[in-house]
Structures are given as structure tokens and as C-alpha cells.
Amino acid sequence: MALVLIVEDNPINRDVLGRRLERRGFSIRFAEDGPSGIAAARTLMPDVILMDIGLGEMDGCEATRRIHADPETAALPIIALTASAFESDRAKALAAGCIDFDTKPVDLPRLLGKMQAVLGPKMPEAAMNFG
């Protein structure tokens, strides 16, 4: 079962996205800020991280840079999530090391397509029907 780490400071967004992905066959773990996301990445070694860019004191871009600076977690794929659809925010997230970028509110079929590109055969069968 593919393990997804959701790093999101808004508890409602975190819980809703987590439940939606669990129903699609993913194993979900949460972190509520950048430092706990970095620690969870190190401990859990998830298959993919969904990183909110607009976190508090340490934003998602800085957390991504720190995850990728650690040799043990450097290869972990991170998809940025943000309420901003500006191209400059997308460029900032990609420059920080995110492999992809998506906007909130999350369009689940679109996000699942991006996750499938990362997970390949680890993608749960229940998540393969994006509709």
C-alpha cells in the first residue's frame, strides 16, 4: 500500500484530503508544519509527500529544500499544494525541489493523475479510476 505524507497546517484540509485518499486505497500520515513534516519524512520514508506551500513559520518550499538536503530523504518525491495559482508560485515550488504542483481546493482526479506519474505500480487499484 502506497504511503502518502500530507503536510498541511489547516486541519480541515488535512483531514478531508486524507479521508479522500484513504478511500482510494492509500495509507495516510499527517504533519501539521514544516519541521514535523521533515521529521515525518525521515521517519516514515513515504512513497510521496503532498506539501502545502503556505505553511506557517517554515513554508513548504523551505521544508522541501531541507528534505532534499538530507541524503536519506533526498529522493522522496514531493508534490506542492497551494491555494495560489500564480505561475511564480509554481516556479518557486519547482525550484525548491517539488516534482509537481497542484492548486487547492484539490481536484482529486487531477491530483491522482499526478500521483500515478510518481507512484507507477505502487498506485492503489482503487485510485486508478480518476472519475
Chain center to CA of 81: 7
Is residue 82 one of the residues assigned to a domain?
yes
For the chain, what is the domain count? 1
Domain that holds residue 37: 3-118
Phi, psi of 118 (to 5 degrees): -85, -45
Which pLDDT score is estimated for 40?
99
Residues of the chain predicted below pLDDT 70? 130-131
Is 106 a domain residue? yes
Residues 38 and 63: beta-carbon distance below 8 Å: yes
What number of residues does the chain have?
131
pTM for the full predicted model: 0.95
> What average pLDDT does the structure give for the chain?
95
